[in-house]
Amino acid sequence: MITLLSSVFGVLVASLLLFLVRRDHLHISHGLGWALAILLCALLGFAPRIFDAMASSLGVSYSPILGVALAIAALVIKALMTDIEMSRMKVRQQRLIQKVALLESELQEMTGRPTIDD
């Protein structure tokens, strides 16, 4: 049952990913990462015994929790990377705003025309 559920989930997410990329809602570079995640989910969905083997080698007594733990770890890393990227974008955006203001001010000094409204 769990295999069926995870397979259906994987197919649904893959379909959503395809839709988002085709409609340009998701940049293809992000799509690559999500595609890899879906492939892994599909692999583990169709072959759950992989977790059993990993769990026993790591000394984890309840193998499904290993999958949950790895998924949470992946999401934390993803969230952190997103925040890092957002920080970079914020700096770029702020400096662009400053630059526009300075250029507009200089242009106004040179031409006497008012600034362009947003």
Q: How many CB atoms lie within 10 A of CB 56?
A: 12
Per-residue mark of binding to other proteins, 3-42 (x: CB under 8 A): ----------------------------------------
Q: How many Cα atoms sit within 13 Å of 88 on the Cβ side? A: 5
- The interface with other proteins within residues 76-105 (CB under 8 A) comprises 87, 91, 94-95, 97-102, 104-105
Identity (one letter) of the amino acid at 59? Answer: G
Q: To the nearest whole angstrom, how small is the minimum distance from the Cβ of residue 93 to other proteins?
A: 8
> Residues 99, 103, 105, 107: what is their CA dihedral angle, to the nearest 10 degrees?
-170
52 is a site residue for other proteins (CB under 8 A)? no
Cβ closest to other proteins, residue 77 vs residue 100: 100
Cβ closest to other proteins, residue 8 vs residue 84: 84
Measure the CA–CA gap between 31 and 15, rounded to whole angstroms.
12
Structure-block tokens of residue 41: 């989910």
Binding site residues, other proteins, CB under 8 A: 87, 91, 94-95, 97-102, 104-105, 109, 115, 118
